[in-house]
Each structure stands twice: as C-alpha cells, then as structure tokens.
Chains A and B, each alone.
Chain A
Amino acid sequence: MSELRELYQEIIIDHGRHPRNFGFLPEATCHQEGFNPLCGDKIILHLYENKDVVEDLKFEGSGCAISIASASLMTECLKGKSRNEIEEIFNLFHKWVTMNDVPDEFKEKLGKLEVLGGVREFPARVKCATLAWHTLKAALLGQNLKLEVVE
C-alpha cells in the first residue's frame, strides 16, 4: 500500500476536499478552461496579471482528488510570481511528475508541490496532476482557447 500512500498523501486529500483559492475572480484579466475529455475533469482558471506578475489566481471546476489538489496547491504556490518564475516552476513540476531520477534539488525548489510526485508511479493519473498546469500555460500564452489535455 506504500505507492498508494505516496499518491494519496494527507495534504492531497486535504486539498482535494478543501481546495484553496476556489471560486470566481471578478477582476481577473484572463479566464481559461481546461478539460480532460477522457475522464471529464474540468478546471476553470481565473487569473489577474499585472506587469507580468500573476497577482491573484483562483479556480473552479470538478475532478478527482489529484486534479483538484494540484490546482489548489498550484494557486497557492504561484500567487505573486512573475511569468519567468512561473515558467521555471512549470518546467520543474512537469519533470517532477513525469520523470524518474529527478535530482533532489527539485524537491526543495518545488516546496509543497513536491507531494504530487506520487503520480509518477501512476501514469494514468499524470494528466490529472497536470490539468491545472496546462490550463495555466494556455492562459499565459494568451491562447484563451479550449484546452484539452490528453497526455
């Protein structure tokens, strides 16, 4: 049961049940929807950007514990970050959840987000962990289009 415990860590179950930054953001400069048509998970991201800094972000949607916790942790962690910082974290995070043998320093840089590394052993769930992140990327690229994530 250890891999499973690794995946469903307490903090994930907590964020999955009680997502932070959940809700609408009236002053948002961008709204982006992300959807996984294979499982129906859906995230709507609202973000308020000011001079390349994401000053606030919130999300709505429905999905499994992993995708909701990932969105919740992401919003917590990226609030107040600049585009450059976000890009770096995005890349770190993506490697962290998809690749084995990532250097230990990643862990430090990722902080709380580190708990999502458990999906590595569950390839079918990686797309849950990354849905919010791909949605964010689409938002920042200003595509503002319907985004489907099917890894």
Chain B
Amino acid sequence: MVVDVLYFAWLRERVGQARERVETEAVTVRDLVAELAARDEWHAAALSDLTAVRVAVDQELADLDAPLAGAREIAFFPPMTGG
C-alpha cells in the first residue's frame, strides 16, 4: 500500500524533508519505522531513539504497535510542547 509519511520539528530536520510518499507492506507502525530507518542515515538518525518519537495515524495519536491497515497518513514527531 501507499502512505504519506509526515515529519515535524526536529524529526523533519533530521530526515531532511517534511513529507514523503512511501510504498510499504508494514503491518504496524513499528514495522514502518524499521523500513524507514533502513532507507538512509538521515532516517536512521531521526528514528534512532523511539522513546523520543510520537506517532499519529490518520491524524490521531497512536502507539508503535498500532496497525496500519487502511491508513493513509502517518506522522512522526517529538513529544508535543503546546500550550
């Protein structure tokens, strides 16, 4: 399947882009992270410490074991600092 992957804040900077379209057979978010980290050193650096990474699947907060079936947009970002 094809999903849009979005990056925010320092994840965006480390990956070097804000958004990319990805062809994947990943079953969970964690599988997708492994595929992305294997792409190049920038992705690997951005996704090296998953305790510092938060995830949204189709614009809802999700955890690493969330299934990707049917998902269109996966976003990775640091812990939020709103307010």
Q: Decide whether A and B are members of one complex.
A: no
A residues engaging B (CB < 8 A)? none
